[in-house]
Each structure stands twice: as structure tokens, then as C-alpha cells.
Structure 1
Amino acid sequence: MSESIQSANAPKAVGSYPHARRAGNLLFLSGIGPRSATHNGIPGNIHDAGGNLLSYDMAAQCHAVFANVQSVLESCGAGMDDLLDVTVYLTDMAKDFPVYNRIWSEYFPDSAKAPCRTTLGITSLPTPIAIELKCIAASRS
């Protein structure tokens, strides 16, 4: 059996799925991006008058995605220290990996205590975001 978890402090899902699911002593978080929970905008995105994406701020998106992960974990009674494994999806590996990797180190400065991590370069994500995280964490309850 598992328990479905929705976080009031994280952006609404873009489909029909929970923010997380607790199964035994593990938390499985759905893919989490950098959208704002309050206005659904994407931090750092700049659009032209027609709504086409002109540029984005990878640092702003990284900080936002980590804040969203933290919000979901807190709704589960957990925290960033409980993360065990993170799969990271970047839409432009060559351009964005250095920024993302530097910001990752701000959140996880001690590699011995950091979660395991896999980073993949992909062509796109369901919304105009440059990063998404898929996480597994230990459950405190």
C-alpha cells in the first residue's frame, strides 16, 4: 500500500498525478520543475510579445526547483537531508550543466552526505522549463 501526497506549497501538477507517494519508508516524488506555486510562472523566463521563449535564467530555475522539492518534502514530513537519489533532466546539457552543478553544490556542499545523482540531457520538458528533478527520499514517519 502507498499514500498519495499533495503539497499546498508546491506548483500544481501539469497532469493527473500526486506530488509524492509514500511507500513504506520511502518517498517517491513526481517530476518537479521550477514553476512558481503562487503564480505558475517560470522564474527567469523571458518571452516576446507573442509568448515565445526568448531566454531563461538557469540559476533562477535551479533555485526554484530546489525550493519546490523542499516544499514537497516538507509536506511529507521530510527535508533535503532525506534525499537518497535524484535524477536531473536538463534541456541543454552543454550550456546549463556548469550552472546547475555549481548550484547543486550550494545545496549539497558535502558530497559524502549528498544524495546520489544522475543527470540527463533531454530535448524538451512538458512546459518551457530547463530543469526537472525526479527524487527518492527516506520517509521519517
Structure 2
Amino acid sequence: MDKTPPPAFHSSQAPEPVGLYPHARRVGNLLFLSGVGPRERGVTEIPGVTLDAAGNISSYDIEAQCHSVFKNVRHILEEAGSAWENLVDVTVFLTNMKADFQTYNRLYAQYFQDCQPCRTTVEVNALPTPIAIELKCIATI
């Protein structure tokens, strides 16, 4: 039995992972993306996030974070040989469903108007970095 793991992919445009994991891993004709947030590669500031002196979120703009997350997902997909239109499943993690779902849902509808993958949206207590949204995606290649 071959114990070689499926090919891992690291994007040159998406934000650096915050742990030991690839941006994506290909298995057959499927591409599994690790969680993708709104951070930008090589930059410490997070789009749409204002931090206080202690590094806690003092305010955030969910719209700016959504645009940045969708851009990062697109970068990973395209660099790995897939495309936005090939998304088949998206899991969305929000840290404040009550405050952010309406804006997120409106923007999601704009980005996914022609491509409608399965979707699950859940609220989580926190994410690994001071962000309000993260996407976990599966696409075909």
C-alpha cells in the first residue's frame, strides 16, 4: 500500500498559513482547501480589522473581510489549476452570525450568482487569528 500523501499545494498569492498545513491538497480530481481567511500575504494588518493595543479586535468591517476572503480563495483555486466555477462545497465560519450574516449573505450571493456550490454557514466562538470569517472549500480540477 502506497503511504505517500496526496500532493500538497502552497499558493504564492494567498496569506501564509498560521500553522503547519498547505493551502490545498489534491486527491484525484478534487481540491480540498484549508481554512482561508481575509489576511493578505506578507502584511500584518488584516483588511477590515482594527486592533487595540493588546491585539484584540476593537472594530471590524465584515464586508471588507468577505471581499478579501473570496479573493484569497480565488487565488488558491486558480494557482492550483482549478477555478471559482469549480467550487462544489463551501463551509463558512462566522464569529458573529447575528451581526454579520445579512451582509455576508448579500455578498456571497453576488460572488456565487453563477456558481452555486453547496454551502454550510456556522457560528464559531473564535478563529485562530483576529478575523470574523473563514472559508473551507472543496472544488473539482
- What is the TM-score normalised by the length of structure 1? 0.93
* Match for residue 26 of structure 1 among 30, 39, 45: 30
- Is 1:123 the counterpart of 2:114? The answer is no
CA displacement 1:27-53 (0-9 Å, x = unmatched): 000000000113142101112334332
1:96 to 93, 100, 108: 100
Unaligned regions of 5+ residues in structure 2, if any?
A: none
Q: 4+ runs of 1 displaced by more than 4 Å? A: none
Q: How many residues align?
A: 137
Q: Could you tell me whether the CA contact under 8 Å between 1:11 and 1:40 is conserved in 2? A: no
CA RMSD of aligned residues (A): 1.1
Aligned residue in 2 for 1:136: 138
Please state whether the residue corresponding to 2:74 is helix, strand or coil: helix
Q: Is the 8 A contact 1:47 1:53 kept in 2?
A: yes
Percent identity between matched residues is: 56
Measured in 2, the distance between the counterparts of 1:40 and 1:117 equals: 30
Which whole-Å CA distance do the structure 1 matches of 2:54 and 2:9 have between them?
36
**What does the per-residue CA deviation read over 1:70-113, in whole Å, with 9 as the maximum and x for residues that have no partner?**
01001111111010000000000010000100000110124xx4
Cα distance in 2 for partners of 1:12, 1:93 equals 26
> Contact conserved, 1:31 with 1:132, CA < 8 A, in 2?
yes
Q: Secondary structure at the match of 1:129?
A: coil
Secondary structure at the aligned position of 2:73 is classed as helix
Could you tell me which runs of 5 or more consecutive residues in structure 1 were left unpaired when the two chains were aligned.
none
User: Which of the numbers 75, 80, 92 marks the counterpart of 2:79?
Assistant: 75
Choose which of 9, 12, 31 in structure 1 pairs with 2:13: 9
For residues 56 and 138 of structure 2, the distance between their equivalents in structure 1, rounded to whole angstroms, comes to 34
Show the 5 A alignment for 1:61-72. Answer: 61-72=65-76
Cα distance in structure 2, aligned partners of 1:32 and 1:118: 15
SS at match of 2:40: coil
Cα deviation, residue 57, structure 1 = 0.3
Q: Deviations over 1:4-62 (max 9, x none)?
A: 00001000000000000000010000000000113142101112334332100000000
